[in-house]
Amino acid sequence: MAAAYDAFLHAKSQLEGDYGFAPVRMPSWLFDFQGALVEWALRKGRAAVFADCGLGKTPIELVWADNVVRKTGGRVLLLSPPAVGHHWIWRQYADCMWDDIRIGHVLPFREARDSEDEKHVHPLQLDVIDRCVQLFSNPGETVWTPFMGVGSEVYSPVLLGRRGAGAELKASYFKQACRNVQAAAAGVRIGAETADLLLDEAEIE
């Protein structure tokens, strides 16, 4: 009976062969041993990482999950203590280079531009503003910008539970900023292609 059970276990073992894929993205802030564990788990495809306390299981599992999502286009469900997420955010924000900023994640601005705007090519990405607001302010505090433009640096603070204030000389930018900030106050997340928030020609004039 024991021999039969040993044979059964041997038949279920997956000690040989890789069933996964090569890493798609490995952040530079991972320690070498963490990166090695993530790569091993990704290549195996069927793996369990038993890392001791303090060795960074959270970044290991999150980088693993990020690679799975990037590779498959699917979703990953992670079950972990709620407080663990804050450590991940800090590690990501403290990185020497933010390589996950979305270049097109900006507020509507095109209809507020005119022929003299060649020096103002593109609004600042909301991902950058969000992180600065979270790093350098607390909920309920006021964030001020003397160059408001279409309101990006007021929109993000309002959406993140702060108060926002700003100044803008150009009328069309100011009007678009008012629309964007009103959307933030209503909890609406918008982007450059949110057509219903763009100014009409009559409003620009």
pLDDT digits (tens, 9 = 90+) for 20-74: 999 999 998 899 999 999 999 999 988 889 888 778 888 898 899 999 999 998 8
DSSP string over the chain: -HHHHHHHHHHH---SS--S---S---TTS-HHHHHHHHHHHHHSS----PPTTS-HHHHHHHHHHHHHHHHS--------TTHHHHHHHHHHTSS------TT-----GGG--TT-TT---PPPHHHHHHHHHHH--TT-EEEES--TTTHHHHHHHHTT-EEEE----HHHHHHHHHHHHHHHTT----TT-GGGSPPHHHH-
pLDDT attached to residue 129: 93
Query: Would you list the domain boundaries of the chain?
Result: 2-93, 110-204
pLDDT digits (tens, 9 = 90+) for 83-140: 555 666 777 777 777 888 888 888 876 655 566 655 555 678 898 999 999 889 999 9
Domain 110-204, CATH:
3.40.50.150
